[in-house]
Every structure is written in structure tokens, then in C-alpha cells.
Amino acid sequence: MALARLQMPPLPVPPSWFPGHMMKFTRMLPSLLTRTDVVLEIRDSRLPLTSINRTLEGALKKWRTERGWDPHNPGRRILKTQACEHIVVLNKRDLVPEWGMEPFRRVMLTKFPEQRLLFASWHRPRDIRTLSEMLVNIAKEHPHALELNVLVIGMPNVGKSTLLNALRNMGIKGRTPKALQTSANPGMTRAMSTRLKLSINPLVYAYDSPGVMLPFLGRGAEGTERGVKLALIAGIKEGLYDMEALAAYLLYRLNVLNPISPAYLHILPPNAAPVLDLQEFLPLLARRMGMIKRGGEMDLPRAAEYFVRWWREEGGLIAASEAQALLQAPGGLLAPGEALSQLKYPSGIQGWGFDFEWEVRPEDIPGVGLDMIIQGKMERCINDYMIKAEREERAEGNMSDTQKKKLMVQEEKMKRKMKHLRRSL
């Protein structure tokens, strides 16, 4: 397949989805943090950058400063009288290839030294045990405290409630019923949960919180792509995006993740070749799945919906495992110093998850360890993300035009109120 011709499809303008319960939690967060010892932020491993909620970062920065962390050196703590830790869990780790996890972790450690980073999946007891031990050890570091309070935050549908249920089952011996309701649709948790006990000795409690979407997804190419990514992981309310638009982007991404044998070949007719164009892909899929209307017309909208749901339910696992196999040497996983030039690694556009994309030319870098190449590529992607995020904050204030108008109306009302008070004095 000629990856040079692979281009991102046109994407729709991102919709606005920021229900009242999300705004309510955002306003409550500063007061909640006054009685919080650990912030457990859950992100999606497929979108390790897009699932960062920048709306909450200001409150977290103030909380850390008040608890003794140096505002000018995020990795240095001046006072340590009270627990204050920010743990970032990249959930659903089984949906991304293993080879990118350690390079990503190393880059994030240098960029965000104040955060503890952990890849996890509730399917893997070892991950849940590691996270449980992290929380217990933090509690033991502060024996004077009667209990450790953990606040769980994150975007919608990143798996906060499911992970908390797994932590509870790991930390409390004996049979424990599922304490929190879960759903595949975003917005199931709409209010703060009651305290959920995660450990008895020492005492560790957790609060689940509503998933909070970005109030404004942004303008331009970054905003449109951000919205489609979040919709693909079901992080945005169903129906706000056309399924064919999601299918087009998904087709593009699966071709980037594995240009040789994309995961969608499992649901196409036998011996099918990789496909670049959605208008060519959907008829093939509809024919294979028997999605035919009266008169023999292919049901393309139904095929698009099937494609997206297949990826959410099983295709993501297939894509991750096959992208992992793409970077395996005959003797197993690559050793840290193994050279890229020793492998039959395809040149061209490559990626990891849906947030990372880079170009690789094996002939340009003989003798360089593959893991270091990947780390360098990831570092550039993260730097680009941080620059774009800062630029968006300065240019837009993280608000849509509608939100700006509402703010102007509120400010005008406040001016009139103050003017009336001055006259009455």
C-alpha cells in the first residue's frame, strides 16, 4: 500500500457537549480538593494526550501549591505535612501495543515530574494490585493521618467506575459487590459518589466523580480531530457525530497503526487488500456482512456503524496485538539496543494509539535502538501537543463563541448590579 497517498479524511465541526452536571463538578473541584490527598486521574491509553482534561489543570496546580509543592519546580516539594499526589492511570492498556509504553512513560516523566504514571487494565490483576499498593504506600507515608482520601477524575467513558470497582475488590478481602454502576455510554456518573472503601489498614477511601468533557473542543484541524477521537472511544454522547465520519477517520487510523495488515482485514472478504478510501471500504464490508437493502443496494450507513462498534468491542484488541507483532524480532520482543535496520520494519507513516504519528526511514538511522527512536518521535509529538495547547489557551481561552457571549452577558449584568448598588449607597 502506498502510504504516501494516505491522507486524513475531511472531519466535521466538533459539537458542543458540556451538560450542567459537568459544569457543576468543575466549579466544585477546588473545594473538593481541600479534603483530597490523592488525585487519581484516569485517561485512555489510546488517547493519552487527547484525554487530558486541561479544564481541571488550574485547580490541580493551585491544590499542589497549597500543599507545599514548588510552583516553579513541579518535581520539588518544599513542605510535606500532608499527602498530595497526582497519579495518572492510562487505562485500557490492552488496546495499545506494549512497545510504546516504556518510551511514553520516560518522556512523560521528564515533561511532568510531578505525576506518577501507570498503565493499567482492569482485566489484569497485576495492574490493579500495583495501583492498590501505590495508594496504600502513600497512606503509610503519613501515619498521623486517620485516612487517605482519593478523588477519581477524568474524561467521560475512560473507565473510572470500572477501575474503582476492581480496586475495591482487590483491597477488601472476601466477596464485595460491585459498588458503582458502569456503562459503555458516557455520562453514567452524573454526581459525586459516596465514599468507597478501598483499604481497611490503612484506611483508604475514594470518591468517583462525573466524567468531565472539555467545554470547548477547539477550532481548526486540532479541534475537529480531537472531537472525532473522543467520539470514537464513546467519550461523547451518541448521536452527536455521524457514524460515516467516525468510520472514515477510523479507517485512516488503522492504516497508520498497521500499514501492512490493518486490523479491519479480519472483517473484509478473504484475501482483501488494505483500503484507503471509505467509499471503497464500506461496500466491501456491507457485502461481507450481508447488509443489503431491498433491490440489492448496499446498506452503507449500517456498515459504517458496524465498523465503529466492531472496533470498540473487539477490533481495538486485534489492532493492538497485530501492531505489537509488527515490531517483533524472530527471537521475541526487541532488546533495548536492537537496531531498527535489522528488522523488516516498514518505512513511512507509523503511529501508536490515536495521538501519535510519525515518519520512519530505516535507512536513515542504522545502528540506533528502536526504543530510543520511538521515544524521540513521541517526545516531538508531546512537545507539539503542549505548544498547540498553550496557543489555544491564549487565543481562545478554552471557550466557544457561544460561551464567550454568555460570559459577556454575565459581566454586563454584574456591572449593572454594581452600578445600582453604588447609587443606592
Residue 147: give its domain's CATH number: 3.40.50.300
pLDDT band (50, 70, 90) for residue 342 = very low
Based on the domain organization, do 204 and 227 belong to the same domain?
no
Final residue of a structural domain among 162, 177, 208: 208
pLDDT value at 1 more than 50: no
pLDDT band (50, 70, 90) for residue 330 = very low
Based on the domain organization, do 231 and 190 belong to the same domain?
no
Average pLDDT taken over every residue of the chain: 83
How far is 303 from 287, CA to CA, in rounded Å? 9
Based on the domain organization, do 109 and 227 belong to the same domain?
no
Answer yes or no: is 82 within a domain: yes
What is the value of pTM for the model shown?
0.83
Answer yes or no: is 423 within a domain: no
Tally of domains in the chain: 2
Answer yes or no: is 425 within a domain: no
Report the candidate in 200, 102, 74, 106 with the shortest Cα–Cα distance to residue 147.
Answer: 200
Q: Name beta bridge partners: 91.
A: 44
Answer yes or no: is 424 within a domain: no
State pLDDT tens for residues 246-278.
999 999 999 988 888 899 999 999 999 999 999
Based on the domain organization, do 250 and 173 belong to the same domain?
no
Based on the domain organization, do 107 and 226 belong to the same domain?
no
Cα–Cα separations (whole angstroms), residue 411 to 177, 283, 408, 418, 422: 49, 54, 5, 11, 17
Answer yes or no: is 213 within a domain: no
Answer yes or no: is 271 within a domain: yes
Residue 259, Cβ density class (10 Å: 0-12 exposed, 13-18 middle, ≥19 buried): buried
pLDDT value at 423 more than 70: yes
Identify the domain containing residue 54 by its residue range: 20-208
Percentage of the chain beyond pLDDT 70 is: 81
Based on the domain organization, do 31 and 91 belong to the same domain?
yes
Based on the domain organization, do 89 and 180 belong to the same domain?
yes
pLDDT value at 102 more than 90: yes
The owner of cell 498547540 is: 388
Based on the domain organization, do 200 and 238 belong to the same domain?
no
Question: Residue 358: which CATH number?
Answer: 1.10.1580.10
Answer yes or no: is 409 within a domain: no
pLDDT value at 182 more than 60: no
Answer yes or no: is 255 within a domain: yes
pLDDT value at 4 more than 90: no
Based on the domain organization, do 204 and 231 belong to the same domain?
no
How far is 159 from 17, CA to CA, in rounded Å? 19
Question: pLDDT at position 399, please?
Answer: 52
More confident residue, 419 or 315: 315
Based on the domain organization, do 169 and 238 belong to the same domain?
no
Final residue of a structural domain among 208, 231, 249: 208
For the ranges 145-149, 155-159, 337-341, 402-406, the lowest mean pLDDT is seen at 337-341
Task: Let me know: does 154 contact 53? Beta carbons within 8 Å.
Answer: yes
More confident residue, 29 or 394: 29
pLDDT value at 16 more than 90: no
Based on the domain organization, do 196 and 296 belong to the same domain?
no
How far is 118 from 91, CA to CA, in rounded Å? 8
Based on the domain organization, do 188 and 249 belong to the same domain?
no
pLDDT band (50, 70, 90) for residue 12 = confident
